[in-house]
Structure 1
Amino acid sequence: MMEQLTKREEEVMNKFWEKGEATVKEIIATYPEPRPSRTAISTFVKFLVDKGFLGHKPAGNNGFIYYPLIQ
């Protein structure tokens, strides 16, 4: 059974469903000011990867590109 998402995890996941592939920086840019911190979004992205909602691939020296595994 798939783990349930918290409200904030679902909010971040919706950004990935809208964009498809994205870096953490690109997801942060979709938020209105004041934008959430990089640390906060990175934490939620890590939770989503751990729960099996997001996959990732290397993006050169810029970290990772994340993409939805669940539609």
Structure 2
Amino acid sequence: MQKLTNKEEEVMHILWKLEKAFVKDVLAEVKDDKPHYNTYSTIIRNLEDKGYVGHTAFGNTHQYFPVITKEEYRTGFMSNAIENYFGNSYKSMVSFFAREEKISAEELREILDMIEKRK
């Protein structure tokens, strides 16, 4: 799975939300600095080249839709992050979040309960 730029990820989140959209629909969802229409058109075409987006043609215009689900992307993204930043160790990842105080002891207990229930 090819890595996406921040703008490409932003567009993918919009497409996952809308399910199908023309470039103008994507642009209408952008909250921050709205770049030119052609900029977003190029981003969406790049996403299509990378295999993340497909389209249906309506004359000269295209309606775009996600080809991969948000869950598929999240799985690939997290696998890459864990491999690249935590040496493929989930223990290192969880301990990182604990040290950074991003996860509480109660949340860790809930995770342990989920693991125990699977056994």
How does the TM-score come out when normalised to structure 1? 0.87
Name the counterpart of 2:68.
70
Which 4+ runs in 1 deviate beyond 4 A?
none
Which of the pair has the greater relative contact order for Cα pairs under 8 Å at 6+ separation? 1
Q: Unaligned stretches of 5+ in structure 2?
A: 70-119
Separation of aligned partners in 2, 1:34 and 1:58: 28
What root-mean-square deviation, in Å, do the aligned CA atoms of Structure 1 and Structure 2 show?
1.4
Separation of aligned partners in 2, 1:26 and 1:17: 13
Highest Rg: 1 or 2? 2
Name the counterpart of 1:18.
17
Please list, as runs of the form range in 1=range in 2, the aligned pairs for 1:47-58 lying within 5 A after superposition. Answer: 47-58=46-57
Q: Unaligned stretches of 5+ in structure 1?
A: none
Query: How many residues were matched structurally?
Result: 69
Letter in 1 for 2:28: A
Higher-helix-fraction structure: 2
Higher-strand-fraction structure: 1
Q: Percent identity?
A: 39
The structural deviation recorded for 1:34 is 4.4
